[in-house]
Amino acid sequence: ETGVTQTPRHLVMGMTNKKSLKCEQHLGHNAMYWYKQSAKKPLELMFVYNFKEQTENNSVPSRFSPECPNSSHLFLHLHTLQPEDSALYLCASRTDPSYNEQFFGPGTRLTVL
Amino acid sequence: GQQVMQIPQYQHVQEGEDFTTYCNSSTTLSNIQWYKQRPGGHPVFLIQLVKSGEVKKQKRLTFQFGEAKKNSSLHITATQTTDVGTYFCAGIPQGGSEKLVFGKGTKLTVNP
């Protein structure tokens, strides 16, 4: 266990559904990340939050909407997704400075039908 | 854009053989990190290299950072079945946005 939890671990949704992924870190870190991991592709950074402020939006489609209510919690709200959005969604956190190691959660395996 | 290339994509070895994965960046890096992801698991941090030419060892694993800070390697001596997984390098480009750029990873399988 890395101290970063994600729920749900598995999610199957239709293209018209709305769902949310949750990430929680118990490490006292100030930065949190969302990554997408698809087969045969590098880990793709989606969003970065530092002290609850979004500092990076890596050209992610608007059907993915992040929310960071405090430095321990991070959400990814999903709506009208496409089948190609099926992937493993990983949350990570780290403490400053920015080059410190990232601690990953177990991920949510998302399937869009 | 900034890219981190990693080779090989796949490597199959017999238990006891050595294994090396290589990482090359299109730009100079501030640092490089290595992660391991077991099958069905999530990336777990292994090590970070910061200095030009740096070499670090963790038991059977040897990590190197190139003199130009553009390439890195991970070498495993006498692989074991517990070494199975995907090894990722990730670097922060100098003068960039301070975000980690990951390689595609090298998937290692070890035949007992």
Side by side, which strands form the sheet with A64-70? Answer: A4-7, A18-25, A73-79, A64-70
Before B93, cis peptide (omega within 30)?
no
Report residue B80 as tokens.
Answer: 């074991």
The conformation of residue B83, written as its DSSP 8-state character, comes to G
The C-alpha atoms of residue B94 and residue B31 are separated, in whole angstroms, by 8
Residues of chain A found within 8 Å of residue B42, distances taken between Cβ atoms = 2, 90, 104-107
Interfacial B residues in 24-83 facing A (CB < 8 Å): 30-31, 33, 35, 41-45, 48, 50
**CB–CB of B105/B37 below 8 Å?**
yes
How does pLDDT run across B16-60, given as a tens digit for each residue? 999 999 999 999 999 999 999 999 999 999 999 999 999 999 999
Residues of chain A found within 8 Å of residue B88, distances taken between Cβ atoms = 42-43
Report residue B77 as tokens.
Answer: 């001596």
How does pLDDT run across A8-61, given as a tens digit for each residue? 999 999 988 899 999 999 999 999 999 999 987 778 999 999 877 777 777 899
